[in-house]
Amino acid sequence: MSEDNPYHDQSMHKGAPPESFLKAKNLRENMTEAEKTLWEFLKNGQLEGFKFRRQHPIHIYIVDFYCHELKLVIEVDGEYHTTEQQKLKDTERSEILVFQDLKIIRFTNEEVLNNIESVLETLKQQIIPNSTSKGEI
């Protein structure tokens, strides 16, 4: 961690507390249908060769999907993310993650379940400009 800012940690978990790892394991065992659908296209380096992790602890949060090499967070939002209270929480969460030098892409459950091709194309468009070690496609 930086001495100037103890909350700006460059590790893969950005200083996540130990209890987050057990919670993340539980979330991996109980993924939503949308998360399961997207995971089928992300796991085992299927998306342009990049390794994604699911239900990954970062700082005080657990993100749906994370690629450390790209510093990319993918969130799949259910219906409750449309409430004003949750929108405020999501904004605060995003600000903290962006402060950690992470990029966040959000999709709704409906987008993932009903138009996975568009979701994957959006991800590829975000990945390719950021790719330095995997080469150009």
List all residues 6 or more positions away from 66 whose beta carbon is below 8 Å from its beta carbon: 52, 53, 56, 58, 72, 73, 74
- Residue 112: its pLDDT value, please? 97
Burial of 23 (C-beta count, 10 Å sphere; 0-12/13-18/19+): middle
SS3 content of the chain, % helix, strand, coil (to 5): 45, 20, 35
Which of 117, 5, 116, 18 shows the shortest CA–CA distance to 62?
A: 18
- Residue 2: the pLDDT is 42
What is the CATH number assigned to the segment(s) 34-126? 3.40.960.10
What is the predicted pLDDT for the residue at 73? Answer: 95
Strand partners, 103: 72
- Amino acid code (one letter) for 19: E
Full-prediction pTM beyond 0.85?
Answer: no
Q: Give pLDDT, residue 129.
A: 67
The pLDDT assigned to 11 comes to 61
* CA proximity to 58, closest of 13, 97, 18: 13
Tens of pLDDT along the chain (137 residues)?
344 444 444 566 566 667 777 777 777 788 999 999 999 999 999 999 999 999 998 888 889 999 999 999 999 988 766 677 877 888 888 898 888 889 999 999 999 999 999 999 999 998 876 554 443 32
pLDDT of residue 14: 64
